[in-house]
Structure 1
């Protein structure tokens, strides 16, 4: 944008100079031929000014360097697990990081889709829906109605077409009546959303902290941007994600989400009961009821538990991402609310 403004200023100055010369009296020492030559030079100068192209980063442009800020339980890039090996998918992460940097190239207004526990009202039924294994309404892409945001086609504001997950970030493109027109960062199409389901982010929002959760290899990595295309790896640890066990435990959903909320103790209930089951320490919520947190503490115990043998093995959570408690505290302190992203891959 600065280059564009500079271009306009230069062109305006050249045009003004040309007009001033044309208005000079006959007694001016410059001849008509000289003035025409000057105007030609001015035109040539205008033609030579070219708007600079914005270069987009490629995965190969992203440089990763290990500078750990948390160094407990650190895993190798590739490490053994039972009769196979697991790894950190750095190439996948490079692609994601290039995308995250590129999506911030222009000045945009960010919003986040929010409907935690249906606080902004239950989303209307979509045009085509199914009942999933949990006996809940979901769209045909598998996104549940509960805690989600209705997405309407630009041509139909009566019935939503699909649901958007809580915690999804989007570009605010404009307003149309009581609806906002948005482009979710990971979608290709624009959608209309009732304004009550959107929270505007600060104009100064930047995403320089990214947490990658690998639900296939059950690990977690935190990365921090230090320059264009330059990211430091801050931790590499085992983690345990959500499992598909109806009616209570659900998989951690794939996608990119915003860290929206933090709780030093996230209290949870016993399955199928209103009775307190315990708490999870240093919890950072990113979508629906999914948190990155430490080892759960079940009642009647009250003291925190630092580590569990099950971390990094198989999915065991209800949707959350379990960590060593000291690592969850590191993330709790390190990742700023509404400026850090959680990317779930596999």
Structure 2
């Protein structure tokens, strides 16, 4: 969408901006992505001279939103966020106007998510050097001023429920980041995947827990030049001989079988169209993806997750939610980028305490797509009483979801969204795409 360009001086600029933003708040009750369109005539040369004297302020109001072209038919909407949203990266002051001198409404907690309306960027002086950038946001509160986190307030509106109100404010971009659902990249990759699927013979690399054997060291190392680890991978040779160079291809990676050559499957990776020769023991069957009907897209940069379903020949969006992907440390690794076959689902899996063999807890409603990488709900840590292990029960919410990579490799969801995906999943028809804009 086109930005609003407004050029005014001093207090007049702030007054006009206040009117514009207050009106846009009014309209946003009906549509959360409305920006008032204002046409301002070019200032005269005399006015420009006065601006130069007084260091005029030039500002732009714009919507930074990526809208989907696929139809939206949500089957899950427990934590609805605007298409762009704001994540507070520390305790963040929210002001009544886009100025540090404006009235302080409240201080948002670290990792709080706010609904996004528009961005305001200020420029100073004749040279229009970049100044402050602010985000116009809103959130939900009840009559007691209690804030409803992560968009949950919107889902609690309605008959028989508490009446909540939208509260509007402004946060500086130095203290918060704008995130978004990158529908353009999602849809582009889905269309490419569908083209591959029409040709058939889509299957996946299989080496969970190195069941079919550790591949050889890559140039004497446990990781290849691209950083892919040896464990739970298959070797992808550049020619049909084990004497040639190779890379590691992770378990679960979706590939197209081109031909069988002397104990190798000649394959093409769906994610980037590169071709390799994989020993036959790592490919269980020539065609594992019988029908492509469901796709889950995980965005590592924005820390969100979107599901798509094909209905009557057309793709539609069935859920948009926040998620947390894998980090990097001694016991963790990033959720790998790529295109993966959803191999299995389990009601839960157990995880161990770092650096030990002790079971620490479990994660519910799981879908495995790459090695030990699962999509799952909020992890549950066991409690111990008198030497007995106690299950405290499922946990729905974690404020860290949708913030920064924190998991060991998995994709952590609100438990209700994990359950939705768990129930929605169809065996041999579901694919995971992990992207990073």
TM-score range, shorter chain: 0.7 to 0.9
Structure 2, unmatched stretches of 5+, are 1-67, 89-175, 384-389
Quick check: 2:204–2:288 contact (8 Å CA) kept in 1? no
Quick check: 2:291–2:428 contact (8 Å CA) kept in 1? no
Distance 1:160 1:69 in 2: 47
Correspondence for 1:163 among 244, 248, 251: 248
1:311 correspondence with 2:401: yes
Correspondence for 1:84 among 171, 177, 186: 177
Mapping of 1:121-132 within 5 angstroms?
A: 121-126=213-218, 128=219, 130=221
The structure with the largest strand share of the pair is 2
Please state whether the residue corresponding to 1:69 is helix, strand or coil: coil
Aligned residues: 275
1:189 correspondence with 2:282: no
Distance 2:231 2:245 in 1: 14
Mapping of 1:193-342 within 5 angstroms?
A: 193-200=278-285, 202=287, 205-228=290-313, 230-245=314-329, 247-300=330-383, 301-302=390-391, 303-342=393-432
Quick check: 1:63–1:231 contact (8 Å CA) kept in 2? no
* 1:105 corresponding residue in structure 2: 198
* 1:10 corresponding residue in structure 2: none
With the length of structure 2 as denominator, give the TM-score of the two structures: 0.60
Structure 1, unmatched stretches of 5+, are 1-61, 131-136
Distance 1:233 1:98 in 2: 14
Quick check: 2:257–2:286 contact (8 Å CA) kept in 1? no
**Cα offset, 1:202, TM superposition:** 4.9
Please state whether the residue corresponding to 2:223 is helix, strand or coil: strand
1:172 correspondence with 2:262: no
Correspondence for 1:96 among 163, 186, 189: 189
Quick check: 1:154–1:190 contact (8 Å CA) kept in 2? no
Please state whether the residue corresponding to 1:282 is helix, strand or coil: strand
Pair 275,79 (structure 1): closer, same or farther in 2 beyond 3 Å: same
Please state whether the residue corresponding to 1:103 is helix, strand or coil: helix
RMSD: 1.7
* 1:152 corresponding residue in structure 2: 237
Quick check: 1:219–1:240 contact (8 Å CA) kept in 2? yes
Pair 332,175 (structure 1): closer, same or farther in 2 beyond 3 Å: same
Quick check: 2:375–2:410 contact (8 Å CA) kept in 1? yes
Distance 1:149 1:211 in 2: 24
Distance 1:138 1:315 in 2: 21
Quick check: 2:376–2:415 contact (8 Å CA) kept in 1? yes
Quick check: 1:297–1:305 contact (8 Å CA) kept in 2? yes
The structure with the largest helix share of the pair is 1
1:208-241 CA distances to partner (integer Å, 9 max, x unpaired)?
211111111111111112244x321111111111
**Cα offset, 1:207, TM superposition:** 1.5
Please state whether the residue corresponding to 2:339 is helix, strand or coil: strand
> After alignment, is 198-207 or 290-299 more displaced?
198-207
1:95-152 CA distances to partner (integer Å, 9 max, x unpaired)?
111101111222x2222101111011111123x354xxxxxx1011111111100111
Q: Which has the higher contact order (CA 8 A, sep 6+)?
A: 1
Quick check: 2:374–2:411 contact (8 Å CA) kept in 1? yes
**Cα offset, 1:181, TM superposition:** 1.6
Superposed structure 1 runs of 4+ greater than 4 Å apart: 201-204
Distance 1:204 1:321 in 2: 22
Distance 2:186 2:405 in 1: 21
